[in-house]
Amino acid sequence: MTIGIDFIGTNLGSGTKTYNINFCKELNSLAVSSNIKIFICKNYLSQISQEFNSNSKIEYVVKPNFLSITFFRLFWMQFILPFELKSLGIKKLYSPMNFSPIIAKFLNIKVILCLHSNLPWIYYNLMPGNRIRNLITKKLMEISIYNCDLLIVNSFFAKEEIVKNLNLSKKKIEVVYLGVNKSFFSIKNEKNLINHFNYDNRYILSVISCVKYHNIINLLYAFKILIRDTDIRLVLVLQILDKDYFLEIKKFIKNNFLGSQIIIFSDVNINQLPKVYKNADLYVFTSYCEVFGLTSLEAMSKEIPVVISNRSALPEINGNAALYFDPDNINEIKNSLKKALLEKSLRKTLIKNGRERLKKFDSTTNVKKTINIIDNLR
């Protein structure tokens, strides 16, 4: 049995990219029974192949870089990939890219779809891009969900939302939690540092995509109040998915803060992140909607307190290892940040609970469960 995995759109989002990197790392170390062909763009293969290309069961099917562009990626997925799978004798396709080829079922290819992005039925008006593009994305995702043989989601929150909005049978949906890869727990290379950044000065950290539903403006309002009597910086590690919103953020910062109070990085690679997490005083995440939210677990792995929104899947994932706030209440965000900065007993409790919480989210278990689900699909 040969399984195909579509990683062509790996560069689309920070969360998806992290998932795919961790998935490949874990897959390489597992004793899998099936042969696996991973479809991937050439530019992205160069970033990962040195670490994990030694498993004889895994083969990379390298594609040209232009397929990472959304239009070409979707065209290739829908009209070329199914026939390529057929010619290679691949009977099952795992697609963790939110969409899947519709005609695969007519070629007797089983499709296992995994959703990582936020569900388009929630906070639809805050999604990046124009309305027509978002509507097309929403419809394509719905068709992919209805058309797949099995759907994998990363939280029970996501499962319930899909059942509620699409009237899908619960039996068609499997929940597989994400996990932090073990390599993230240890900083192997102290040379993987960000140039001209002083790690010793105190800072609050948020690693986040620049989209409206991540509610960054409210975080900035809360931080503006906080620094009236607290000497600390805010470091935003952003992936810029909504350029207009990014310009709005930059304008707000220019009008309300001194140059050194807010630091924005938009080109941090995954090997630089552990050090950025480890030296932070606390981690904050103000999102309205997440189907999982891996970055808070990454923060826990570096033993820093987590202060987080009380919406969507975030309470399910973080449990008692985070201090929660209403993301619409700026004073509550500020008070939570201040409390987590100043109360030593609370900080110790959050860090201790974080260590325990992480035991539920192991990336090896995640990949094993995913491969077992694929293998057992008949």
Q: What is the pLDDT of residue 273?
A: 86
Q: What is the pLDDT of residue 185?
A: 66
Q: What is the pLDDT of residue 54?
A: 61
CA atoms within 13 A on the CB side of 150: 20
- Which of 93, 33, 118 lies closest to 293 in space, CA to CA? 118
At 50, the pLDDT band (50, 70, 90 cuts) reads low
Determine contact, residues 81/121, Cβ cutoff 8 Å: no
At 206, the pLDDT band (50, 70, 90 cuts) reads very high
At 254, the pLDDT band (50, 70, 90 cuts) reads very high
The residue behind tokens 């989002």 is: 13
Q: What is the pLDDT of residue 28?
A: 78
Instruction: Using the predicted structure, report yes or no on whether residue 312 has a pLDDT greater than 90.
Output: yes
Instruction: Using the predicted structure, report yes or no on whether residue 179 has a pLDDT greater than 90.
Output: no
304 CB-near residues (< 8 Å, 6+ apart): 205, 277, 278, 280, 281, 282, 283, 351
Task: Order the strands of the 110-114 sheet from edge to edge.
Answer: 58-63, 35-41, 2-6, 92-95, 110-114, 150-153, 173-175
Instruction: Using the predicted structure, report yes or no on whether residue 59 has a pLDDT greater than 90.
Output: no
Share of the chain above pLDDT 70, in %: 90
Q: What is the pLDDT of residue 317?
A: 97
Task: Tell me which of 310 and 268 has the higher pLDDT.
Answer: 310
Q: What is the pLDDT of residue 44?
A: 75
What mean pLDDT do residues 115-121 have?
75
What mean pLDDT do residues 15-31 have?
76
Please name each of the domains of the chain with its CATH number.
2-179+362-376 (3.40.50.2000), 184-358 (3.40.50.2000)
- CA dist 324 and 311 (Å) reads 9
What mean pLDDT do residues 156-174 have?
93
**Choice among 208-212, 257-261, 340-344 with the minimum mean pLDDT:** 257-261
Q: What is the pLDDT of residue 123?
A: 67
Task: Tell me which of 46 and 67 has the higher pLDDT.
Answer: 67
The residue behind tokens 């999102």 is: 287
Q: What is the pLDDT of residues 150-162, one digit of tens each?
A: 999 999 999 999 9
Q: What is the pLDDT of residue 190?
A: 54
- CA dist 175 and 149 (Å) reads 15
Instruction: Using the predicted structure, report yes or no on whether residue 195 has a pLDDT greater than 90.
Output: no
Report the chain's mean pLDDT, rounded to a whole number.
88
At 51, the pLDDT band (50, 70, 90 cuts) reads low
Instruction: Using the predicted structure, report yes or no on whether residue 129 has a pLDDT greater than 60.
Output: yes
Instruction: Using the predicted structure, report yes or no on whether residue 142 has a pLDDT greater than 70.
Output: yes
Q: What is the pLDDT of residue 1?
A: 80
Task: Tell me which of 71 and 195 has the higher pLDDT.
Answer: 71
Q: What is the pLDDT of residue 49?
A: 56
What mean pLDDT do residues 299-319 have?
96
Instruction: Using the predicted structure, report yes or no on whether residue 165 has a pLDDT greater than 60.
Output: yes
pTM here is 0.90
Q: What is the pLDDT of residue 283?
A: 98
- CA dist 117 and 136 (Å) reads 15
Q: What is the pLDDT of residue 40?
A: 87
Three-state secondary structure string covering the chain: CEEEEECCCHHHCHHHHHHHHHHHHHHHHCCCCCEEEEEEEHHHHHHHCCCCCCCCCEEEEEECHHHHCHHHHHHHHHHCHHHHHHHCCCCEEEECCCCCCHHHHHHCCEEEEECCCCCCCCCHHHCCCCHHHHHHHHHHHHHHHHHCCEEEECCHHHHHHHHHHHCCCHHHEEECCCCECHHHHCCCCCCCCCCCCCCCCCEEEEEEEECHHHCHHHHHHHHHHHCCCCCCEEEEEEEECCHHHHHHHHHHHHHHCCCCCEEEECCCCCCCHHHHHHCCCEEEECCCCCCCCHHHHHHHHCCCCEEEECCCCHHHHHHHHCEEECCCCHHHHHHHHHHHHHCHHHHHHHHHHHHHHHCCCEHHHHHHHHHHHHHHCC
Q: What is the pLDDT of residue 366?
A: 87
Instruction: Using the predicted structure, report yes or no on whether residue 24 has a pLDDT greater than 70.
Output: yes
Task: Tell me which of 135 and 9 has the higher pLDDT.
Answer: 135
Instruction: Using the predicted structure, report yes or no on whether residue 244 has a pLDDT greater than 70.
Output: yes
Instruction: Using the predicted structure, report yes or no on whether residue 15 has a pLDDT greater than 70.
Output: no
Backbone φ and ψ for 38, nearest 5 degrees, come out as: -105, 120
At 10, the pLDDT band (50, 70, 90 cuts) reads low
